[in-house]
Chain A
Amino acid sequence: MDFQTFVFYFLSAILVFAALRVITARNPIHAALHLILAFFTCGGIWALLQAEFLAIAIILVYVGAVMVLFLFVVMMLDINLDRIRQGFWNYLPLGAVLGLLMVLEMGLVLGNKALQIPASAAVTPPGVSNVKEIGRLMFTDFVYPFELASIVLLVGMIAAIALTWRGRKKSKYINPNQQVFVKAKDRLRVLQMPVEKD
């Protein structure tokens, strides 16, 4: 087994483990952290396949944006601030382990000269850029689904706004024009009532 195959199996094992933990972990934050690990490992496997654009995209988009947002939401749901602060120390060991694992993975895949892995068998010829090819296809052959995907995003936006927007908050705004024309009888009501005797 050459080094490259070893790296592949290593990453795959971590990926399967992390994915299993996502659905078995009882603590939602643990699940989210493992999901980050799974995405990151996935990026590593793609980098092995020389699909560097996908690898970078999954790390930037999923790990960088989607998952962090997800973690925020999970933490927001737990409003007790003290418990979140306590949580920091509780989650630190797991976070540190996962972080180290990611650094190790990055080292294996991108690595220094000593660990430099040979290109995989399915190499692209030199001079062909992954990003360029994806970009070219996206705007020529796949322009129709590309445009439709933008409409799917638009629908997502419309749906999110329609489902959450509850109208402007009633502010304590005062109309001076109406105030000027206020008369005593608008504010004060004089009632006629029989005298009460006790």
Chain B
Amino acid sequence: MFDQFVVPDLLPAAPEIFLVVMASAILLIDLFVKDSRRTATFALSVLTLLGCAVIQTMTWTPDITYTFSNMFVDDQMADLLKLFLYLTVIMVLFYSRAYVIDRGEMNKGEYYVLALFATLGMMVMISANSFVTVYIGIELLSLSLYAMVALNRASLSASEAAMKYFILGALASGLLLYGMSMIYGGTGSLELTAIDEVLRNDGANGKLLVFGLVFLIAGLAFKLGVVPFHMWIPDVYHGAPTSVTLLIGSAPKLAAFAVVMRLLVNGLLPLAVEWQNMLIIMAVLSMAIGNLAAIAQSNIKRMLAYSAISHMGFMLLGIVSGVVGDASGQFDAAHHALAAYGSAMFYVIAYVLMSLGTFGMILLMARSGFEADTLDDFKGLNQRSPWFAAVMMMLMFSMAGIPFFIGFFAKLSVLMAVIDAGHTWLAIVAVLFSLIGAFYYLRVVKLMYFDAPEDATPIGGSADMRLLLSVNGVAVAALGLFPQVIMALCAFSLLNSLN
């Protein structure tokens, strides 16, 4: 009965396997860690992620590999996103270390183990080629994050945030599953590449598919946090401990981008006309509500939450310009898709880099019993620490999209793709809302440089964190001078991944 069974090729999934083994080992080793600072657990977690990065580069191949009965795909988009993912999680761990140690309740081995399992969930999402793996990856990520938000049991707002996140997340998973089951019913396959083939060949049952697509996109929008499914973002960003907010606000965006690419571009490209229209509505609403609501916030975590909503809306613009109705030639269409999806990918990577730095700054200023999460806490930062005020200024300029920071080139490349696709009005709307958005980013700069500090405590932070944060800030500026580096990487990886 098992004579046709072939042992799947495990090599493409080597980083995942390594991560699972190490996370389970760390879970056990942590029981024997006596040190209250959990240095061993921390170091092992960082080493694990570094190990994953090494394995990822060593098993790199230029072609697309499918394994585990086509449920797992390893292409260059996956490789690049995973490498950025490891880097992001490593930085998250470094930034959050002091914060977690100051709050003894959170400084448990589980904090690191859950972060590693969340990373695994994101890796599964990035490499998913089947509805089943997409769903399980999302659940693995979400479950770990729910628990991490609630890990600080002393904080009432964290428990509230975890509860909201959990319930809305479960609802979103339900919507996603419903949509998936509809599409499965319409095409008869769970495998994304097979669905694409079915749709190309015989069109399938259009109404059923569009019905499923609506639910699928609603579920995805929940996970991405775009309007009208954004309600959880401000509450969770605000209520969660800042170190967990940092994790939620950075790495999962990479994975969410990958899932959107897998589901909509790899799987449902023949339905592009339908989903592009839905995404356009969500993108415009996100930019409007995100940027306008952020102005009214006095809490910087909440402000950044609305900013995240608007940034995700902006990123969607890149994805909606991939397929143009009247694409003339085959080569032209492929070239066009490459530019559009590449710009969205560049945008996500740039956003993650900026968001890491900004939340890192909040963590740097926080200390035991003090969260530094209101805008007023940033008043007069220049007098307390000119260098970190400069780092924050660079990050804010980049988020606002002021030339020549990386955020500017991210916005520029998306806008160019949008105009190429013929949606000139969309580009104008995007620029207008970015202008409105610039106000609240520049307000932070104004508070730092032109207001008197409210408290004169010197900026703390360990040497490694200060160094990493400085590098982060400088990278935002330096990559703005050489945006081609990442842009070329994105284009190159997508060139060999889009079929």
List residues of A whose CB falls within 8 A of some B CB: 132, 136, 140-145, 148-149, 151-152, 154-156, 158-159, 161-163
List B contacts of A158 (CB < 8 A).
27, 110, 113-114, 117, 147
- Is the beta-carbon distance between A162 and B117 smaller than 8 angstroms? no
User: CA–CA, A161 to B117, complex, Å?
Assistant: 16
- Is the beta-carbon distance between B136 and A145 smaller than 8 angstroms? yes
B65-73, B85-93, B329-337, B398-406: which one contacts chain A? B65-73
- Is the beta-carbon distance between A155 and B136 smaller than 8 angstroms? no
- Is the beta-carbon distance between B68 and A144 smaller than 8 angstroms? yes
Report if A148-B136 is in contact (Cβ < 8 Å); known contacts: A163-B151, A163-B153.
yes
User: CA–CA, A149 to B124, complex, Å?
Assistant: 12
- Is the beta-carbon distance between B68 and A136 smaller than 8 angstroms? no
List A contacts of B13 (CB < 8 A).
144
Contact with A along B114-153 (1 / 0, CB 8 A): 1001001000100000101100110110011011001101
B5 within 8 Å of A by Cβ? yes
Report if A144-B146 is in contact (Cβ < 8 Å); known contacts: A152-B140, A158-B110, A162-B108.
no
Contact with A along B35-72 (1 / 0, CB 8 A): 00000000000000000000000000000000011011
Between A and B, 14 residue pairs with Cβ closer than 8 Å are: A140-B5, A141-B69, A143-B8, A144-B13, A144-B68, A145-B136, A148-B133, A152-B136, A156-B143, A158-B113, A158-B147, A159-B147, A163-B150, A163-B153
Q: Which of A140, A143, A148, A156 has the most CB of B within 10 A?
A: A148
Report if A162-B147 is in contact (Cβ < 8 Å); known contacts: A136-B1, A145-B132, A155-B114.
yes
Contact with A along B235-275 (1 / 0, CB 8 A): 00000000000000000000000000000000000000000
List B contacts of A144 (CB < 8 A).
8, 13, 68-69, 71-72, 133
User: CA–CA, A149 to B140, complex, Å?
Assistant: 8
List B contacts of A151 (CB < 8 A).
20, 117, 120, 140
List B contacts of A143 (CB < 8 A).
8, 68
Which residue of chain B lies nearest to A148 when distances are taken between CB atoms in the complex? B136
List A contacts of B72 (CB < 8 A).
144
User: CA–CA, A26 to B144, complex, Å?
Assistant: 32
User: CA–CA, A28 to B27, complex, Å?
Assistant: 38
B2 within 8 Å of A by Cβ? yes
List B contacts of A159 (CB < 8 A).
110, 114, 143-144, 146-147
List A contacts of B8 (CB < 8 A).
143-144
User: CA–CA, A145 to B136, complex, Å?
Assistant: 7
- Give the Cβ gap from A178 to chain B, nearest Cβ, in Å: 22
User: CA–CA, A12 to B13, complex, Å?
Assistant: 43
Which residue of chain A lies nearest to B67 when distances are taken between CB atoms in the complex? A144
Which residue of chain B lies nearest to A135 when distances are taken between CB atoms in the complex? B1
- Give the Cβ gap from A39 to chain B, nearest Cβ, in Å: 16
- Give the Cβ gap from B376 to chain A, nearest Cβ, in Å: 33
- Give the Cβ gap from B373 to chain A, nearest Cβ, in Å: 23
Report if A152-B139 is in contact (Cβ < 8 Å); known contacts: A141-B69, A143-B8.
yes
Q: Which of A136, A140, A159 has the most CB of B within 10 A?
A: A159
User: CA–CA, A151 to B139, complex, Å?
Assistant: 10
User: CA–CA, A163 to B150, complex, Å?
Assistant: 7
List A contacts of B146 (CB < 8 A).
159
- Is the beta-carbon distance between B140 and A155 smaller than 8 angstroms? yes
Which residue of chain B lies nearest to A132 when distances are taken between CB atoms in the complex? B1
User: CA–CA, A151 to B151, complex, Å?
Assistant: 19
- Is the beta-carbon distance between A155 and B5 smaller than 8 angstroms? no
Q: Could you list 5 further interchain pairs (A-B, Cβ under 8 angstroms) beyond the known A143-B8, A148-B137, A152-B143?
A: A140-B69, A145-B136, A151-B120, A162-B110, A163-B153
Report if A155-B151 is in contact (Cβ < 8 Å); known contacts: A148-B133, A148-B136, A162-B108.
no
User: CA–CA, A136 to B69, complex, Å?
Assistant: 13
List B contacts of A141 (CB < 8 A).
69, 71
Which residue of chain B lies nearest to A144 when distances are taken between CB atoms in the complex? B68
User: CA–CA, A143 to B69, complex, Å?
Assistant: 9
User: CA–CA, A144 to B130, complex, Å?
Assistant: 11
- Is the beta-carbon distance between A136 and B133 smaller than 8 angstroms? no
- Give the Cβ gap from A45 to chain B, nearest Cβ, in Å: 15
Which residue of chain A lies nearest to B71 when distances are taken between CB atoms in the complex? A144
Which residue of chain B lies nearest to A162 when distances are taken between CB atoms in the complex? B110
- Is the beta-carbon distance between B132 and A142 smaller than 8 angstroms? yes
List B contacts of A161 (CB < 8 A).
110
- Give the Cβ gap from A82 to chain B, nearest Cβ, in Å: 31
Report if A148-B140 is in contact (Cβ < 8 Å); known contacts: A155-B114, A158-B114, A159-B147.
yes
User: CA–CA, A15 to B391, complex, Å?
Assistant: 59
- Give the Cβ gap from B252 to chain A, nearest Cβ, in Å: 15
List A contacts of B147 (CB < 8 A).
155, 158-159, 162-163
User: CA–CA, A156 to B5, complex, Å?
Assistant: 31
Shortest 10 CB-CB distances between A and B: which pairs? Answer: A159-B147, A144-B68, A162-B110, A141-B69, A145-B132, A148-B136, A155-B117, A155-B143, A140-B5, A144-B71
- Give the Cβ gap from B248 to chain A, nearest Cβ, in Å: 15
- Is the beta-carbon distance between B114 and A136 smaller than 8 angstroms? no
List A contacts of B110 (CB < 8 A).
158-159, 161-162
Which residue of chain A lies nearest to B68 when distances are taken between CB atoms in the complex? A144
List A contacts of B5 (CB < 8 A).
140
- Give the Cβ gap from A111 to chain B, nearest Cβ, in Å: 29
List B contacts of A163 (CB < 8 A).
147, 150-151, 153
List A contacts of B153 (CB < 8 A).
163
- Give the Cβ gap from A19 to chain B, nearest Cβ, in Å: 13
User: CA–CA, A143 to B124, complex, Å?
Assistant: 14
User: CA–CA, A141 to B4, complex, Å?
Assistant: 11
List B contacts of A154 (CB < 8 A).
24, 117
Which residue of chain A lies nearest to B127 when distances are taken between CB atoms in the complex? A144
